[in-house]
């Protein structure tokens, strides 16, 4: 074989140390492949993007901002889904608005169902797999007025609504998410009193949580009665928490938080686990309860003040592995108006996912939060989570740089490191 050393020597002499470093780095790059058929995409929810919803419990409340016209995605969904397709997403998670579909108890709005049919059909026509959420934090007014999720009737009402949606749209749904983050909802609406109906209870949060899980179980059976092969689950927000000190109180606090998170998986029927992951905490119980959570010290924080700690996702996935069900990451993302950190955030969290898969976690998809900048609940339009930027005056959409970098990963089904 020809001796290449002299030629290589000449080449090196012509390069600056920096150029040599870049070339070596590129030569050493490797592609971390994800399992075949892995689902890639983004998540959205109806009230956060659709616009024009004026008959749910959020829209009529004076204590929280209103979504108003939001991104007008109810009308511009073709543009939005075409961008998802263009960005090489092969799956998308959206939700339907209960208040649109059932504006009065027992009365279903066929026009709304027709529109959702068009949306799902459009996704299917683009070749995307569909995840459909039935409840993403908002409720019809009639439902809220009869006591909402505190009233046992909620379970039956949710089952009736689920049956109607399944009959009308079921053939277009690949994955069902019955309820989004029941624990978060119960906490924000019934313990902290930040979301409608603004209650600060001690007993009712657990009751609400339990009723939502019961409603999920009923909905699970309803969907399966129409489509025995359906894939049905719910999305749970699971953080990773560590004790700040090794004392018993902090450790007990974590045990309690974990118990609440994983309890749902022991109490329910599900075909897959939907994981929403954003948070990492160091827990320290102090007398001033407001200060009991220390956000990861030493970690970078997002604009929203959430710690960036990709290892937390790895650790949650390793814990979920024990439940022996497929896992789909149904939300993970960063508030980043500058788009300076999103690309690295996605890469680092996906590296954690890849490592967890290598260590046996059956993760089958990743849906980034979110496709678009959107209405972020009690904070209105303050946080920018979108792969696509939305100008809320003109409603013009602009694809962010990070969305292109994520798009390469989706297209390659691999992360190049
Ligand atoms: C919720 C989304 C929300 C996101 C970011 C998640 O817990 O499901 O609706 O936009 O957090 O705040």
Q: Which residues contact 336 (CB under 8 A, 6 or more apart)?
A: 302, 303, 342, 345, 384, 385, 402
Residue 331 CB less than 6 A away from ligand 1: yes
Instruction: Give the residue among 301, 300, 302, 281 at the shortest CA–CA distance from 292.
Output: 281
Residue 362 CB less than 6 A away from ligand 1: no
Taking the CA of residue 385 as reference, the ligand 1 atom at the shortest distance is: 5
d(CA 331, CA 44): 9
Class of domain 33-416: alpha beta
Question: Which mutation among 331, 332, 368 tests ligand 1's pocket best, with the greatest number of atoms within 8 A of CB?
Answer: 331
Q: pLDDT band at residue 8, thresholds of 50, 70 and 90?
A: confident
Question: Which mutation among 47, 138, 369, 370 tests ligand 1's pocket best, with the greatest number of atoms within 8 A of CB?
Answer: 369
* 91 Cα distance to chain centroid: 13
Q: pLDDT band at residue 290, thresholds of 50, 70 and 90?
A: low
- Which whole number is the average pLDDT over 246-263? 84
HEC assignment per residue over the chain = CCCCHHHHHHHHHHCCHHHHHHHHHHHCCCEEECCCCCEEEEECCHHHHCCCCCCECCCCCCCCCCCCCCCCHHHHHHHHHHHHHHCCCCEEEEECCHHHHCCECCECCHHHHHHHHHHHHHHHHCCCEEEEEEECCCCEHHHHHCCHHHCCHHHHHHHHHHHHHHHHHHHHCCEEEEEECHHHHHHHHHHCCCCCCCCCCCCHHHHHHHHHHHHHHHHHHHHHHHCCCCEEEEEEECCEEEECCCCHHHHHHHHHHHHHHHHHHHHCCCCCEEEECCCEEEECCCCCHHHCEEECCCCCECCCCCECCHHHHHHHHHHHHCCCCCEEEEECCCCCCCCCCHHHHHHHHHHHHHHHHHCCCCEEEEEEECCECCCCHHHCCCCCCCCEEECCCCCCEEECHHHHHHHHHHHHCEEEC
pTM value?
0.94
Residues paired with residue 135 on neighbouring β-strands, in sequence order: 179
Q: Is 283 exposed, middle or buried (0-12, 13-18, 19+ CB in 10 A)?
A: buried
Residue 369 CB less than 6 A away from ligand 1: yes
Omega within 30 of 0 (cis) for the link into 164: no
Question: Which mutation among 182, 212, 237, 377 tests ligand 1's pocket best, with the greatest number of atoms within 8 A of CB?
Answer: 377
pLDDT at residue 17, as a whole number:
87
Give the β-pairing of 280-283 and 293-295.
antiparallel
Tell me if 260 sits within 8 A of 220, measured CB to CB: no
pLDDT at residue 4, as a whole number:
83
Q: Which residues contact 164 (CB under 8 A, 6 or more apart)?
A: 101, 102, 108, 113
Kindly tell me if the per-residue pLDDT of 291 is higher than 60: no
- Which whole number is the average pLDDT over 261-270? 93
CA atoms within 13 A on the CB side of 105: 12
Instruction: Give the residue among 237, 229, 233, 210 at the shortest CA–CA distance from 220.
Output: 233
Residues paired with residue 129 on neighbouring β-strands, in sequence order: 91
Residue 376 CB less than 6 A away from ligand 1: yes
d(CA 162, CA 389): 33
Q: pLDDT band at residue 286, thresholds of 50, 70 and 90?
A: low
Query: Ligand 1, atom 7: nearest CA belongs to which residue?
Result: 237
Give the β-pairing of 388-390 and 91-95.
unpaired
Residue 184 CB less than 6 A away from ligand 1: yes
pLDDT digits (tens, 9 = 90+) for 136-188: 999 999 999 999 999 999 999 999 999 999 999 999 999 999 999 999 999 99
pLDDT digits (tens, 9 = 90+) for 365-403: 999 999 999 999 999 999 999 999 999 999 999 999 999
Omega within 30 of 0 (cis) for the link into 197: yes
Tell me if 191 sits within 8 A of 200, measured CB to CB: yes
Q: Is 242 exposed, middle or buried (0-12, 13-18, 19+ CB in 10 A)?
A: middle
pLDDT digits (tens, 9 = 90+) for 68-127: 999 999 999 999 999 999 999 999 999 999 999 999 999 999 999 999 999 999 999 999
Residue 116 CB less than 6 A away from ligand 1: no
Q: What's the gap in Å between 367 CA and the centre of ligand 1?
A: 13
Query: Ligand 1, atom 3: nearest CA belongs to which residue?
Result: 376
């Amino acid at each position: 074989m020809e001796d290449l050393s002299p030629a290589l020597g000449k080449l090196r002499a012509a390069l600056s140390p920096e150029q040599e470093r870049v070339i070596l780095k590129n030569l050493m790059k490797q592609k971390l492949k994800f399992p075949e058929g892995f689902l890639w995409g983004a998540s959205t929810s109806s009230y956060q993007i659709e616009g024009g919803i004026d008959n749910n419990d959020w829209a009529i409340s004076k204590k929280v901002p209103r979504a108003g016209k939001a991104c007008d995605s109810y009308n511009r969904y073709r543009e939005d889904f075409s961008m998802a397709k263009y960005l090489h997403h092969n799956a998308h998670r959206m939700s339907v608005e209960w208040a649109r579909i059932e504006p009065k108890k027992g009365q279903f709005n066929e026009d709304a169902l027709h529109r959702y049919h068009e949306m799902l059909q459009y996704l299917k026509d683009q070749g995307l797999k569909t995840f459909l959420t039935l409840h993403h934090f908002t409720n019809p007014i009639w439902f809220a007025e009869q006591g909402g999720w505190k009233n046992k009737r909620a379970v039956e009402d949710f089952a009736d609504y689920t049956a109607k949606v399944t009959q009308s749209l079921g053939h277009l749904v690949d994955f069902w998410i019955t309820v989004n983050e029941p624990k978060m909802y119960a906490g924000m609406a019934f313990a902290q009193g930040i979301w409608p109906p603004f209650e600060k209870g001690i007993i009712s949060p657990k009751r609400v949580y339990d009723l939502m899980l019961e409603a999920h179980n009923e909905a699970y059976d309803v969907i399966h009665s129409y489509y025995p092969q359906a894939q049905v689950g719910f999305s749970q927000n699971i953080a990773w928490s560590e004790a700040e000190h090794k004392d018993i109180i902090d450790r007990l606090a974590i045990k309690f938080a974990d118990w609440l998170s994983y309890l749902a998986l022991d109490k329910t029927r599900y075909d897959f686990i939907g994981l929403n992951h954003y948070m990492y905490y160091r827990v320290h119980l102090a007398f001033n309860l407001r200060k009991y959570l220390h956000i990861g010290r030493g970690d970078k924080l997002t604009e929203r003040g959430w710690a960036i700690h990709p290892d937390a996702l790895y650790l949650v996935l390793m814990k979920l592995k024990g439940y022996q069900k497929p896992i789909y990451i149904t939300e993970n993302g960063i508030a980043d108006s500058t788009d300076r950190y999103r690309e690295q955030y996605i890469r680092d969290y996906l590296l954690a996912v890849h490592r967890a898969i290598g260590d046996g976690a059956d993760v089958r998809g990743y849906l980034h939060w979110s496709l678009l900048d959107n209405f972020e609940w009690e904070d209105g339009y303050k946080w920018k989570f979108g792969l696509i930027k939305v100008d809320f005056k003109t409603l013009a959409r602009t694809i962010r740089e990070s969305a292109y970098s994520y798009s390469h990963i989706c297209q390659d089904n691999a992360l190049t490191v």
